[in-house]
Amino acid sequence: MTDQIASRLPESWAWAAWAGAALIHVALMLCFVLAAVAFFVWLERKVSARIQDRLGPTRVGGRFGWLQSPADGIKLLCKEDIIPAAADSFLFRIAPYLCFCPAFAAFAAIPLADGWVALRLDIAVLFVLAVAGMEIFGVILAGYASGSKYSLFGAMREAAQVVSYEAPLALCLVIPVMLAGSMDLTTIANAQEGWFTQWFVFHNPFSFAAFWIYVVCATANTNRAPFDLPEAESELVAGFMTEYSGFRWAVFFMAEYTAMLAVCLIASIAFLGGWNGPIPWTGWLGLSYSVHPALGFLGDFVGFLNLTAKSFLGVIFIMALRWTLPRLRIDQVMAMCWKYCVPLAAAMLLGAAVWLCLFPGGVFRGVGLRNAPSPTVAAVGAFAGEREQVQP
Amino acid sequence: MNLFFDPVGLPHYLLVGAVLFVCGILCMMTKRNAIGVLMGVELVLNGANVNLVALGSPMLYPSGVAPLGLEGPLTAAFVIVLAAAEAAVALAIVLSYYRTAATIDVDQASQLKG
Amino acid sequence: MTAAVLWHNVFFWIFGLAASALAVGVVVSTNVVRMAVCLVMSLAAVAGLFFLAGAPLLGAIQILVYVGGTMVLLVFGVMLTARLPAAAMRTNAGQWVAALIVGAALLAVLWQAGRGLSAACARRDAAAPSAAEIAPANQTVTELGLALLGVRADAAQSAEGGSSTQRPGYLLPFELISVHLLAALVGAAYLARSRWPARRQAADDVRSTDME
C-alpha cells in the first residue's frame, strides 16, 4: 500500500506515503475491532439471555435492542470519574490502556483474508502470542494501583493464571506451525485451501485434540468463565476491576473482548482453515485475481466473511461456556493447567510430529485431494541438496 | 555532534547499548532494594543484547555484510533465555532472604550465617 | 535520504530515547513499583529496536520471554516483598556521587570503544567484497532455524577452505540452555518453597486460604 500511495505523490513527499499507509492500516484495524467489540457487548447479553430462557435487550433500538451497545457506551462516558484516595494515581490512570493496547496491537499481524494484513511477518504466530501476553501488565498495575486488597489479590491470581496458560496455548499452536511449515499466518491459512478436509483440525487426531486443548487454554488465557475467578463477583467483588468505574471499566472490557476475538481469529486461521470456506465455491465461480481484479477482491471479501463467521462462532461458543459451566476454584485452575493441559499439549505435539514423519502427506491429502509434501520437509530438502553440492 | 545528522548506523545502536549498560551498573551499585539490583542486572543484559543485534544486522552496513551475521540475534536469544533462568534463581534467593531476615535491604545482608 | 531511511531514523530516535530515558528512570526512581514499570517499558522499547534492526524473531522473543515472563516474575517479587517503607532504604548522597563518577567513566570508556569499533567496521566494510558475491542474510525464521542445524545461507566465503554453507551448528548450545533453564527453574521453585513447619502443624485444624 505504501507504494500505491507513493506513486501518487511527488518525490519529496514519499515519506508521507509511509505515514499514510500506516494510518490507513490502523484505521481499518480499529474499525474492525471496535465494531466487533460493540457487537459482542450486545451479543453477550443476548446469548446469556437466551441461555437463561429470557429475551435480553428488546427496548433500545427496535425489537432486538440493536442500540444497546451505544447506549451502554454513552452511559459509561457520562459516569463520575472516581479515583480512590489510596490509589497511585498515575499508574491507576494508565493501567486500562496498558491492557487494551497490546490486545489491539496483536491485530497488526492477524490477516483477515488472503493478503489483507497490516504487517505480514514471518513470525506472526510468535508475535501475536508475545504481544497478547503483555496485557498482564495492565492487570497487575490495575490491581496494585487501586490500593485495595481485593484488587491486589484478584490481579495476582489473574496474572498467575494468564501467564500459566500461555504455555499450553503456545504448545498447541506449534502444531499448525509444523503442519504448514511456517509461522506466517497467511501461509498457514493458505495451506488449508480446498475442502474442509484440508483444515488442520482434521489433519490428524493429535491436531484435533490440540484444537480442543487450545480452546480450553484460550478461554483460560482471556479470563473467561469457567476460569474467571479473579473477576468473580461472589469471591473478590470484581477482582482488579473493583475500583474502576465508568469509561476506564469500559476500556478493560474492550480489552477482554478484543483478546477474545484475537484468540478466536487465531483458532480459525490456524485450525479451521481461515478464510477458506468448507466448500471452495469461489474457485469454481472464477473469483480470482487472474480473471479480473474486482473479482479477486470479491473472492477475498468472501474469505473475509468466512473468517469472520468462524471466529464469531468461536466467540459465541466461549460466551455460551460462560453461562453454562460453574466456576473453577483458583487451585483447580492452576492444577488443570500444569497437571493436565501442559502434559496433554506436549503429548499432542509429540504425536503430531511423529504423524508427520510417518504420513508426510496427511491422511486426507494422501487420498488424492492434495499430494504435496509438507513445506518444512521441502525446505530442509532444498538446503540439504545445496549442502551436498558444495561438498568437495 | 555528527551523531544527530548522520543516518542512524552502528554508532547510534552502540551508544544506546552503552547507556543501558551504564544505567544497569548504576542500579546495581546504588539500589538497596534487592529487587532493584535484579533490575540492574536485566538492564545490563539488555545493553549487551542491543550491541549483539546491532553488530548482526545487515541493514546497518552499506555493503550488506554484518560482522556477526546470523550469530548476532542467535546469541542474543541465548542471552535472553539465560537471563530468564538467572532472574528466576535470583528472585528465589531474594524471597528466601526476605523470609529469614524480614527485609530486602542488601545493606543488612552482611552476615554469612543464616 | 530516502523515505525508508528517514522513518528508520525517526523510529530509532523514538525507541532509543525511550529505552535510555526509561533506563535512567529506573535508576532515579525510589518506589520499586515505578522502577518495575519503567523497566518494563524500557524493555519494550528495546524490543522495538530489535524489530527496527531487522531481527523480528528476536524482538518477539524479547517481548515473550523478557517482558511477558521475567518482568512478571520481578513484579510478583515486588508485590510479595513490598511491605517496607521505601524511605528506609535510601542511598546517601556520598554513595550517589561515587556511583555517578564511576558510571560516567564507564560510559566514556564504552562510548570510545563504540566509536573505534564503528570506525573499524566502516573500514572493513569499504574493503569487503561487494554484496553481489555474497548471499544476503534475510534473518528470516527459516534461516535462523537452519543456522541452528549448521546450514548457513549467509555464507561469507572463508579463505581457509571448507564448504561455504557449513558452519558449526548451534543445536547443542540450544539444548544445553533449555536443560539449564529447566534446572534453574526447578531449583528456584525449590529455593522459594515455603518452610514454616510450625505453622503447618498449627494449621491442621484451621485451613488456610493460601494457594499452594
Residue C53 has pLDDT above 50, yes or no: yes
Residue length of chain B = 114
CB B66 within 8 A of CB B72: yes
CA angle at A217 for the pair A40 and C36, rounded to the nearest 5°: 90
* pLDDT confidence band for C8 (50 / 70 / 90): confident
Which among A159, A182, A392 is the nearest to C72, CB-wise?
A159
Q: Which residue has the cell 501518487?
A: A8
Tell me how crowded residue A385 is: count the other CB atoms within 10 A of its CB.
9
CB A364 within 8 A of CB A194: no
Tell me how crowded residue C170 is: count the other CB atoms within 10 A of its CB.
19
Q: Tell me the chain C residues in contact with residue B50 when contact means C-beta distances shorter than 8 Å.
A: 19, 46, 49-50
Cβ pair A131:C63 closer than 8 A: yes
**Average pLDDT for residues A335-363, to the nearest whole number?**
87
Which residues fall within 8 angstroms of residue C37, CB to CB, at 6 or more apart? A91, A137, A141
Which among C9, C26, C122 is the nearest to B43, CB-wise?
C26
* DSSP letter assigned to residue B10: H
Greatest mean pLDDT range, A275-284, A374-383, C93-102, C119-128? C93-102
Cβ pair C68:A130 closer than 8 A: yes
Out of A330-334, B39-43, C45-49, least confident range: A330-334
Residue A119 has pLDDT above 80, yes or no: yes
Q: Determine what percent of chain A is predicted with pLDDT higher than 70.
A: 86
Q: What is the 3-state secondary structure (H, E, C) of chain C?
A: CCHHHHHHHHHHHHHHHHHHHHHHHHHHCCCHHHHHHHHHHHHHHHHHHHHHCCCHHHHHHHHHHHHHHHHHHHHHHHHHCCCCCHHHHCCCHHHHHHHHHHHHHHHHHHHHHHHHHHHHHHHHHHCCCCHHHCCCCCCCHHHHHHHHHCECCCCCCCCCCCCCCECCCCHHHHHHHHHHHHHHHHHHHHHCCCCCHHHHHHCCCCCCCCCC
Neighbours of chain A (3+ CB pairs under 8 A): C
Give the integer Cα–Cα distance in Å for A143 and A138.
9
Q: What is the tally of helices (H) and strands (E) in chain A?
A: 17, 0
* DSSP letter assigned to residue A367: I
What is the model's pLDDT at position A237? Answer: 63
Give the integer Cα–Cα distance in Å for A100 and A257.
10
Q: Tell me the chain A residues in contact with residue C79 when contact means C-beta distances shorter than 8 Å.
A: 140, 144, 152, 156
Q: Which residue has the cell 524482538?
A: C59
What is the model's pLDDT at position A241? Answer: 76
Q: Specify the amino acid at residue A375.
A: P
C-alpha cell at C17: 530515547
Residue C1 burial (C-beta neighbours within 10 Å; 0-12, 13-18, 19+) = exposed
Which among C43, C89, C181 is the nearest to B81, CB-wise?
C181
Out of A109-118, C55-64, C94-103, least confident range: A109-118
What is the model's pLDDT at position C79? Answer: 78
Closest CA to B21 of B47, B53, B40: B47
Higher pLDDT, residue C12 or C157: C12
C151 in contact with B, Cβ within 8 Å = no
Closest CA to A232 of A318, A136, A150: A150
Per-residue pLDDT of A124-176, as tens digits, reads 999 999 998 898 888 888 888 887 777 787 888 888 889 999 999 999 999 99
User: What is the pLDDT of chain A when averaged over all its residues?
Assistant: 83
Q: What is the tally of helices (H) and strands (E) in chain B?
A: 4, 0
Per-residue pLDDT of B17-47, as tens digits, reads 999 999 999 999 998 888 999 999 999 999 9
**Radius of gyration of chain B from its Cα atoms, rounded to whole angstroms:** 18
Which residues fall within 8 angstroms of residue A170, CB to CB, at 6 or more apart? A129
Out of A288-292, B80-84, B89-93, C85-89, least confident range: C85-89
CB C11 within 8 A of CB C52: yes
C-alpha cell at A206: 493429535
Judged by DSSP in three states, B33 sits in strand
Closest CA to A254 of A55, A15, A39, A9: A39
The distance from CA A329 to its chain's CA centroid, rounded to whole angstroms, is 25
CA atoms within 13 A on the CB side of A114: 21
Out of A126-130, B49-53, C79-83, least confident range: C79-83
Cβ pair A130:C63 closer than 8 A: yes
Higher pLDDT, residue C47 or A122: C47
In the beta sheet, which residues pair with residue C166?
A: C151
Give the integer Cα–Cα distance in Å for B41 and C177.
19
Cβ pair A140:C56 closer than 8 A: no
Neighbours of chain C (3+ CB pairs under 8 A): A, B
Per-residue pLDDT of A286-331, as tens digits, reads 777 777 778 888 888 889 999 999 999 999 999 999 889 888 888 8
Per-residue pLDDT of A173-192, as tens digits, reads 999 999 888 889 999 998 88
CB C212 within 8 A of CB A331: yes
**Average pLDDT for residues A248-264, to the nearest whole number?**
91
The ipTM of this complex is 0.91
Residue C156 burial (C-beta neighbours within 10 Å; 0-12, 13-18, 19+) = middle
Closest CA to C154 of C142, A212, A361, C77: C142
Per-residue pLDDT of C189-206, as tens digits, reads 898 887 765 444 444 545
The distance from CA A102 to its chain's CA centroid, rounded to whole angstroms, is 12
What is the model's pLDDT at position A235? Answer: 59
Residue A357 burial (C-beta neighbours within 10 Å; 0-12, 13-18, 19+) = exposed
In the beta sheet, which residues pair with residue B33?
A: B105
Q: Tell me the chain A residues in contact with residue C34 when contact means C-beta distances shorter than 8 Å.
A: 91
CB C20 within 8 A of CB B20: yes
**Average pLDDT for residues B71-80, to the nearest whole number?**
91
Query: For C42, which residue in chain B has the nearest alpha carbon?
Result: B43
Cβ pair A134:C68 closer than 8 A: yes
Higher pLDDT, residue A223 or B5: A223
What is the model's pLDDT at position C163? Answer: 44
* pLDDT confidence band for B84 (50 / 70 / 90): very high
* pLDDT confidence band for A388 (50 / 70 / 90): very low
CA atoms within 13 A on the CB side of A187: 18
Cβ pair C147:B43 closer than 8 A: no
Cβ pair B14:C78 closer than 8 A: no
Q: Give per-residue burial for A284-315: e unless 16+ CB within 10 Å, then b.
A: eeebeeeeeeebbeebbbbbbebbbebbbebb
